[in-house]
Structure 1
Amino acid sequence: MNIVVIGAGYAGTLAANRLRKKAPDAHITVVNPRGDFIERVRLHEQIAGSGTAARPLTEMLAAGITLETASADKIGDGTVTLDNGRDLEFDSVILATGSTANPLPGAIPVGTWEGAEQARTALEALAAGGIVTVIGGGLTGIETAAELAEARPYLRVRLVSDTVAGSLSTGAQRHVRSTLGRLTADIVADQVIEIDGTTLRLGSGAELDSDLTLWAMFSAVPDLAARSGLAVDADGRALVDATLRSVSDPRIFAVGDCAAVPGMRMACATAAPQGAHAANTLVRMIKGREPQPFSLGYVGQGISLGRHDGLQQVTDRADTASRLFVSGPIAAFVKERVCRFAATASRTGNTVWLRGPKR
């Protein structure tokens, strides 16, 4: 059996390694545009120079898995066409291409490896007093602003967003704001609507100077699914059934950020269980058993606020924040352990998760 996994992030790498153990007779090929596994949860560390987010895929993929360092151009009827001219025949595909960003012209996306490296290089060129603006008040934007403010205290860091930490409880939002203030990162409650060189034009009509502008919002997915004729939602995510199989072609699974699964947020906490479920389902089908529906319940949201502070927000299984959260060094320690577990789970193919709430 030929299985092609497209994308070697958390979901794709975990799925491939899990399949290698559970279906040892299958021929598994992983297609990825670069030879590194990127820990997206550490890209803010990569940018600030406080950590690294890349490790060779040869260290992450189990022996016997074939790695194709290329991009998939199209998924056809039983064939995946690569941009290097090769065609890979498949019996099943796991589509795990993740998400990307559509930044305003003039802003550098921090959620991609290429963007993170570009931002790191640009950051090194800034003199003392240089202004760095982070656009986006979600968890990625908060982590980026906090990391930069702590690691580069000689720079002026600001966060621009209508809302900051909107997925967290009121108390947790207060802690985020106070911590950014302690790190001397300013918060501007507005929207950037245009970037003209070093000038940011805001929705309110105000203008801000910025020497380096970073885009910390995920707003798009690669168009491989749509380009291949698969059914997608308005955001380009592949439409899947309850088992994570494409509604257009049951041979194709879609997992992680590129899959349209109701109630799921973009996170490694989502991607890893979906990758594991797709692998489990494929094994069930190989053995002639019926696939089972995917179910996932969340337990919380975690963010780092520099290297010595963090926040762990407790949620219900539907990912709704409760009043309970933990902050400070303990939360930073927990966040680091979660990041390490995510990488280890991908490398070993082993992970655990809770079932979702009853509906």
Structure 2
Amino acid sequence: MNTNIVISPGKYIQGYGELERIESHVSFLGNTPFIVASPSGMRLTRDIVENSFKNKGKNCLFELFNRECSKNEINRLKELCEKNNCDFIIGIGGGKALDTAKALAFYMEMPVVIVPTIASTDAPCSALSVLYTDDGAFEEYLILPTNPSVVLVDTKVVVNAPVRLLVAGMGDALATYFEARACKASNSKTMTGALTSTSAMALAKLCYDTLINEGLKAKLAVEKKVCTSSVEKIIEANTYLSGIGFESGGLGAAHAIHNGFTVLEECHNLYHGEKVAFGTLTQLVLENAPTKEIEEVMSFCVDVGLPITLEDLGIEEINKEALMRVAEASAVEGETIHNMPFDVTADDVYAAILTADSLGKLFKGN
């Protein structure tokens, strides 16, 4: 018999102004939280969080995150947490601050609460931390035994972040359904160590449908710094649906191609989800997906402002040698591109990148 596993945070809580009630949501975890916050997270949320705990007669200890999710930073925070007899962890901010909080909780053997201040990736719900050196070079993936105990998303905070971050989150989420579909077709194992479940596929498909139906409306609302029903749905899609979808549904070519593009200096100023969006289009070309499906994806990307050409990625001139380096990095042994239901070589990826670029130019009328 095949094993199917779905993993997820213990609680996912989302709402406008929900941070004001954080103490009531996390009181079952302990009495004295150690709060790791990014500089912006500290500025945006400290007073709100402190008031929530003070109103219940509880204390909390804030510590500023030093901007890099490194072992030295984790050890520094560990000493402070032990010194102050804290009994659970709260992480507030963007990806690296949240990954640090998750890793700290793992080493402290404590529960962790994750409070993202942006909706640019699906990382908040995951049982994973990416560790770097103090200088910011990638060091290793830390696979965690459990997902966060609580993920709390205050849409009042998220809606005030730059709109490009929300759009980048949509780009990351765009890959979720197509990658899960590929893993399901190939019987590839997901990050759970098992196969894609029906539940994960359903959430991944809901994620895609939500993007198509609500993405543009959400972008327009966030440009005006207002929160609408569309914004709420897109934040949930970016954070929760995509989070469960990628972890329990599986990764395919789109994220591998994203990893390939990181070798090019021209792409270093792009957000993760922006590169993933073009990786999604390239995956659809690799699959020889129906033209109607490819056009729907391109239309969505153009509407919200995600890249569909190499020029959109900052690559002004097509250099075969550079693109082959991207293709080779995408197809190295162990990459998730090998979860596709057919063999993929670097030459296949190179051809798909050029074809995706041509389709994007044609769609834009260039």
- TM-score scaled to structure 1, two decimals? 0.24
Task: Give the helix-richer structure, 1 or 2.
Answer: 2
If each structure's strand is expressed as a fraction of its own residues, which one has the higher value? 1
Larger RCO, structures 1/2 (Cα 8 Å, 6+ apart): 1
